[in-house]
Amino acid sequence: MFVRIDSSCEKDKKLFDMCKIAEFSDDLTAENVQVLDWKNRPETVLNQIFIQKIYDCENGGYFVYEKDGKYVCGVGCYPFEQDDSIAVFPVRLYISTDLGMKERIQLMRKLIQHTFIRAIKDNYRAAVFFLNDHNLWRAKATIAYMNVRKNKYLSFVPKIKTFDTKVNYKFTEQTAMYIDFSDYENEVKQCLQQITV
């Protein structure tokens, strides 16, 4: 079951438990989910939820998947600062390493599909996501997750494109990728051009 999280969920013990488990993970993506000193670390999901409140918007949120009374994974979505017709997702994607590999892959596919459908229902015209150097290898995995032949949760095949220049997003040099839902590619490129390194 998917649960939407925003700053009003501060007493949600299951969210903090998921973040505490991330502290023991060897996965580099887990460092942005960890609970350790989260109030002073703007890159962490807890800081983004409760201090920055970036998921408080009507057409976004941090979505977690609940299994057996625990949150086992999560992913965020929010409007792009340059243009609120563009969604930023997947953000702070995390899946507990306590799960088996097959289940982790299935949950990642479900999370991405859930967020993707939400973005379309929320009338976003496009989506962008950003990969820093240690996550760049995940670009191939993300493209595979968006393949309808490999992901039974997808209803159609989105076309993912890579922006040709590195960008500076959230104080980090990153590679930007995007999906155009409705002939909005020029606007996406203009927004990304504004934050080019």
Please write the tens of the pLDDT for every residue from 22-70. 888 777 777 788 888 999 999 889 999 999 999 998 888 999 999 999 9
Determine contact, residues 192/182, Cβ cutoff 8 Å.
no
User: What pLDDT shows up at residue 151?
Assistant: 57
pLDDT band at 1 (very low <50, low <70, confident <90, very high): confident
Please write the tens of the pLDDT for every residue from 109-157. 788 888 888 888 888 999 999 887 767 766 666 666 566 566 555 555 5
Domains defined for the chain, CATH in brackets:
2-194 (3.40.630.30)
Mean model confidence pLDDT for the chain: 84
Query: 195 pLDDT exceeds 90?
Result: yes
Identify which has the larger pLDDT, 145 or 174. 174
User: Averaged over 84-108, what is the pLDDT?
Assistant: 85
DSSP state of 68: T
Identify which has the larger pLDDT, 156 or 190. 190
Query: What are the beta bridge partners of residue 177?
Result: 129, 162
H, E, C per residue of 113-165: HHHHHHHHHCCCCEEEEEECHHHCCHHHHHHHHCCCCCCCCCCCCCCEEECCC
User: What pLDDT shows up at residue 53?
Assistant: 94
